[in-house]
Amino acid sequence: MNPKVDFYFSKGRWQKEITRLRKIVLDCGLTEELKWGCPCYTFEGANIVLIHVFKEYCAFLFFKGALLQDTEGLLIQQTENVQSARQIRFTTLKEITENVSTLKAYIYEAIEVEKAGLKVALKKTADYKVPEEFQQKLKEVPGLKTAFDALTPGRQRAYLFYFGQPKLSKTRVARVEKAVQQILDGKGLDDSV
C-alpha cells in the first residue's frame, strides 16, 4: 500500500467497495501509485488498472482493456471514442465480493498483455472526420492549416473530436471560431491560453 493513495479510500460514497478493490488488486502483486488523482496499479512501470469513482458507480479501468478476452462479458467501453481502456463497474460490495476470482483473472490477463508487449491499434488522425465548418476555416484563415498540421496528433484529434461533437452547425462554427487563435499559437485544446 502506498500512503500517498490512502486519502482516496477514506472519502465518499464508495469507501467499502474501493477498499475491497484495492485489496484485490494488491493481492495480484501490482505496485500502487497515485496518477491523475486516482489509485493506479502498475507492473514494471506500465499502467495496468486504475480504481476510480463516479456518482453512480465505482470501477476498475483497464488501460488495455480492449485487448482482454472478456470471457465474462464484464468490460464496458465508456464511450464510442475510448479506444483502449475498458471499465468493470460496481454498485455494491456484494458484486465485488462474489467476483474476486474473476476480477483477479482479468488483472492477471492484463499483466500478461503487458508482458507480451501488446499494443492497441489506435485510430490515426486521418481516420477522424474533419467537420465541414473547420474545413472552411482552414481555407479562409492564412496559416491555420500549417499551424494545425504542426500540432501533435493527439492535439489534432482532440480538436477534431471537439469540433465534431455538436449536432448544430452554429455550435460547431462557434467552437471553431473560439479555437482559431489557440491553434495559430500552437496550443492544444486544453492548453492554457
Looking at the structure of the chain, the number of domains it has is 2
- AA letter at 54: F
Residue 37 counted as domain residue: yes
- Quote the pLDDT of residue 192: 62
109 and 129 fall within a common domain: no
- Reduced to 3 states (helix: H, G, I; strand: E, B; else coil), residue 126 is helix
Give CA–CA dist 154/82, Å, rounded.
13
Give CA–CA dist 29/31, Å, rounded.
7
Write down which residue in 67, 90, 115 finishes a domain.
115
Domain interval for residue 165: 125-184
- How far is residue 32 from each of residues 18, 25, 143, measured CA to CA in Å? 14, 9, 46
Residue 28 counted as domain residue: yes
pLDDT digits (tens, 9 = 90+) for 7-60: 999 888 899 999 999 999 999 999 999 999 999 999 999 999 999 999 999 999
- Reduced to 3 states (helix: H, G, I; strand: E, B; else coil), residue 76 is strand
107 and 32 fall within a common domain: yes
Global model pTM greater than 0.85: no
- Quote the pLDDT of residue 79: 76
Give CA–CA dist 52/36, Å, rounded.
10
